[in-house]
Structure 1
Amino acid sequence: MSSTDLMTQRYGAPAPWRRRALLALVAVVVLVFGGWLTWTTVAHADPPVTSELVTFDTVDQHTVDATVQVDLRDADVEADCLLRAFAEDHSTVGELAFTPESSGRLDLTIRTERMATSVEKIGCTAEGQPRPR
């Protein structure tokens, strides 16, 4: 007699429905997670607005010109965008918040407190898009 038979005689056989119920529960959890993952991927794959810093040029002590490419998914999307200028010591010396009217390249001027050495595109956000892009 094997130890499994001994255990079955002593404690009784496990109920057959438990294994099926556990497998069904695991299958449901996997399907729900897969559906959520698919929905999340599709929802974030095509944001309402995207932007890219094309170039910038320091004009003088208090001015930086920047060119930004903004792409709006629909013409009626209202987006808010932000550019930030930094000095050589990495401190913020200027910011420009703007609302693009349409898709395309925008030439913008950022006023700064002192000489800026770099410009960072923080990004653009729209309703339903909390993360700047």
Structure 2
Amino acid sequence: MEQTVAERYAGPPAWRRPVTIVAVVALALVGLTWLGWAAYKESTPKVESQLVTFTVDGEHVVRADVAVRLSSGATGASCTVEAVAEDHSVVGELHFRPVNGTNRVTVRTERQATSVDVPGCIADGQNRPR
């Protein structure tokens, strides 16, 4: 008396396939929802900044124009401007409270700067500079 494979080994229960499909679809929906939320959150920062221009006005002074865009609900915004020397070391740094639009700032330096960097601005609820 020879048994078939199905007789010897029980097949999977009938409920397993639909439950697996529902679980995979639910997990995919959760993942896509999170991906959409993360993409939206990263594409709409509360504050953004960009260096417009700068001038080196002497051995110990640099002036910079920084364009800042504040969203309507942005609070506690703070921006950073760094003066950088020829050897790429930071020789001056300024933190300031921005206004919407162009912000003209003066950075005092410990020695001659050759360039200016704007690492970005942060706001309440936005810890990554933009």
Q: Which residue of 1 aligns with 2:81?
A: 83
Q: Which residue of 2 aligns with 1:56?
A: 54
Cα offset for 1:43?
Answer: 2.0
The alignment status of 1:123 with 2:120, answered yes or no, reads yes
| CA–CA distance in structure 2, aligned partners of residues 17 and 80 of structure 1 | 57
* Aligned residue type for 2:24: V
Q: Which runs of 5+ in 2 are unaligned?
A: none
> In structure 1, the residue corresponding to 2:127 is in which secondary structure?
coil
Structure 1 pair 75–6 and aligned structure 2 pair: CA distance change class (3 A): closer
Is the CA contact 2:120–2:129 (under 8 Å) kept in the aligned structure 1? yes
> In structure 2, the residue corresponding to 1:35 is in which secondary structure?
helix
> In structure 2, the residue corresponding to 1:31 is in which secondary structure?
helix
Judging by fraction of residues, say which structure has more helix: 1
**Overall identity of the aligned pairs, in %:** 45
Which of residues 29, 32, 41 is equivalent to 1:31? 29
Structure 1 pair 24–39 and aligned structure 2 pair: CA distance change class (3 A): same
Is the CA contact 2:46–2:73 (under 8 Å) kept in the aligned structure 1? no
Q: C-alpha offsets along residues 6-29 of structure 1, whole Å, 9 cap, x if unaligned?
A: 321210222121111111111110
> In structure 2, the residue corresponding to 1:129 is in which secondary structure?
coil
Q: TM-score under structure 2 normalisation?
A: 0.92
Cα offset for 1:44?
Answer: 2.2
| CA–CA distance in structure 1, aligned partners of residues 41 and 73 of structure 2 | 19
